[in-house]
Amino acid sequence: MTAAPDLVILGAGTTALAAAERAAELGARVVVIEQAVPGGTCINWGCIPSKTLIHKAALYHAARRGAAAGLNLTPGPVDCAALMAAKQQAIDRVRQERCDRLLNEHPAIRLVRGHGRLRAPGEVQVGPEILRSDHILIACGGLPRHLDLPGMHTVAALNSYSVLNLPAIPRSLLIVGGGVIALEIGQMLQRFGCQVTLLERGDRPLAEFDPRLTGPLCALLAAEGLRQHFGVEVRQVAAEGEGVAVAAMINGHPLRLTAERLMLAVGTVPATAGLGLEAVGVACDRQGFVVIDAECRTSVPGIWAAGDVTGPPLLAPAGELEGRVAVENMFAGRHCTVDHHGTPMAVFIDPEIALVGQTAAQAGAAGHEVAEAYLDLAAVAKAHVVGAPTGALLLWADRHDGRLLGGQILAPRAADLIHELALAVRACLTVSELADSVHVYPTISDGWRLAARRLLADCPELRGRA
């Protein structure tokens, strides 16, 4: 492909790949610019490696849990080298299938290695090469946020990338943060034999989830030995011996904690350094994320942006959607908009926790009169089959027309089970339609039907509304 490209994409992660593939389907010639490893955070340093290790930790933990059922398995010490090899194998296979084949074999897509910089609207420089195109997509993702705390320069703090490449499991770890990454990594390392302590600034983890779910979750994590502190303000960090010491205030009281390693899990910053956004006038918000409208257009005509570089929801599937929307608006003559109302999200802890749509508070603020159902997971037969009855399902619907508005679930395989409700929300199904759907028995997913039946029992006026 030697002709001038129809589209230049900065980045080669999940968002960029989805955009490049759709643009090629629409007949566009695409150049993808990447200075690091193609595949981006999700494939190389995020979703795939972390979930691979989380799965191995679950297997290791299951060996100990089986003793209560007469399965007398004795787990030996963790072979970290073998763990890292299994993780790398998963990365390589996913990268080959989802990334390399598209970038290396598609005749309409060319990969250019190097750092891309906007010189002017319609111009991107990569080393000595200057690419000109009427369509530019910024899809360079984000990076782990760092905290510039007093003494931080004295310790080698881990982040969400480096913690997945440890040569050995540390004896103990302090994690600053209480969000998705902190909980996923925290439980995984706790199960591998590391004593993990979470230090969260808020009053509970995962603020986007209902406390009726996060409360039992915290109790389950505590039962595994994971220590949790909330209302924490970290004041200072210092190297101490072969480890690290953290000075903090917890609900107004001083506390000093020590561990072998320290990890920061405090969010994401956009990877926009050196892109030349200021030079061409691309507007960013106060946190540095690129500002876009509902069609993924930036403040500069001809320049679009999508994915983590634009800020929340900071989910790989959301970035894919935004990338495709941007391309549709560029080349299909459409005015597609991004609507994440039906975009599910999940946390890969055990049990998993997931959500989609609006909460009762969000739906009420949007003008809905909300009906709610809460179903304890103990009411679902499969939960007892798998020995995991701690959890719950929450369901919200419009009280007037019965339309499903959203839901949350704490249960085994919740990340898979949330898709049933995501489809129901997207398709504007009603409580009655979900309650009348036939589910395989016994399954955890049957909990959605039972929750819908509970909602109809509490609000019989919703019966039959469709």
Say if CB 230 and CB 252 are below 8 A apart: no
Strands 142-144 and 268-270: antiparallel
pLDDT digits (tens, 9 = 90+) for 364-401: 999 999 999 999 999 999 999 999 999 999 999 999 99
**Token pair listed for 437:** 């759907």
Residue 94 has, within 13 A of its CA and on its CB side, a CA count of 22
pLDDT digits (tens, 9 = 90+) for 36-66: 999 999 999 999 999 999 999 999 999 888 8
How far apart are the C-alpha atoms of 226 and 185, rounded to whole Å?
11
Say if CB 64 and CB 75 are below 8 A apart: yes
Q: Rounded mean pLDDT of the chain?
A: 95
How far apart are the C-alpha atoms of 14 and 27, rounded to whole Å?
20
**Token pair listed for 279:** 């030079």
Give the DSSP letter string of 325-344: HHHHHHHS-------GGG--
How far apart are the C-alpha atoms of 250 and 387, rounded to whole Å?
35
Q: Which domains does the chain have, with CATH numbers?
A: 7-143+269-338 (3.50.50.60), 152-266 (3.50.50.60), 342-462 (3.30.390.30)
Q: How many CB atoms neighbour CB 135 within 10 A?
A: 21
Residue 224 pLDDT grade (very low, low, confident, very high; cuts 50, 70, 90): very high
The answer on pLDDT for 82 being more than 60 is: yes
Proportion of the chain above pLDDT 90, given as a percent: 92
The answer on pLDDT for 459 being more than 70 is: yes
Cis peptide before 150 (omega within 30 of 0): no
pLDDT for the residue numbered 191: 97
| Distances from the Cα of 339 to the Cα of 300, 334, 343, 420, 450, angstroms | 22, 15, 8, 18, 29
pLDDT digits (tens, 9 = 90+) for 153-201: 999 999 999 999 999 999 999 999 999 999 999 999 999 999 999 999 9
Q: What angle do CA 401, 402, 407 make, to 5 degrees?
A: 135
How far apart are the C-alpha atoms of 387 and 65, rounded to whole Å?
10
Residue 209 pLDDT grade (very low, low, confident, very high; cuts 50, 70, 90): very high
Q: Which amino acid is at 364?
A: G
Say if CB 230 and CB 211 are below 8 A apart: no
Say if CB 210 and CB 187 are below 8 A apart: no
CB within 8 Å of 42: residues ≥ 6 apart: 13, 14, 48, 316
The answer on pLDDT for 451 being more than 80 is: yes
pLDDT digits (tens, 9 = 90+) for 319-349: 999 999 999 999 988 899 998 988 999 999 9
pLDDT for the residue numbered 336: 94
pLDDT for the residue numbered 174: 98
pLDDT for the residue numbered 1: 45
SS3 196: strand
Which residue, chain included where needed, has tokens 């420089």? 125
How far apart are the C-alpha atoms of 7 and 24, rounded to whole Å?
10
Using the 8-state DSSP alphabet, how is residue 291 labeled? P
The answer on pLDDT for 291 being more than 80 is: yes
pLDDT digits (tens, 9 = 90+) for 249-275: 998 899 999 999 999 999 999 999 999
Using the Cα atoms of residue 66, residue 72, residue 77 and residue 78 in order, give the sign of their dihedral.
Answer: negative
**Token pair listed for 387:** 């020995």
The answer on pLDDT for 2 being more than 60 is: no
pLDDT for the residue numbered 327: 98
Say if CB 6 and CB 28 are below 8 A apart: yes
Cis peptide before 205 (omega within 30 of 0): no
Least confident among 2-6, 353-357, 400-404: 2-6
pLDDT for the residue numbered 466: 60
pLDDT for the residue numbered 331: 95
| Distances from the Cα of 150 to the Cα of 57, 153, 197, 238, 246, angstroms | 34, 8, 20, 8, 10
Burial class of residue 79, CB neighbours in 10 A (0-12, 13-18, 19+) = exposed
Nearest CA among 259, 256, 229, 255 for reference residue 244: 259
Residue 465 pLDDT grade (very low, low, confident, very high; cuts 50, 70, 90): low
pLDDT for the residue numbered 38: 96
pLDDT for the residue numbered 74: 77
**Token pair listed for 417:** 């089970």
How far apart are the C-alpha atoms of 263 and 437, rounded to whole Å?
45
What number is the average pLDDT over the span 85-114?
Answer: 96
SS3 212: helix
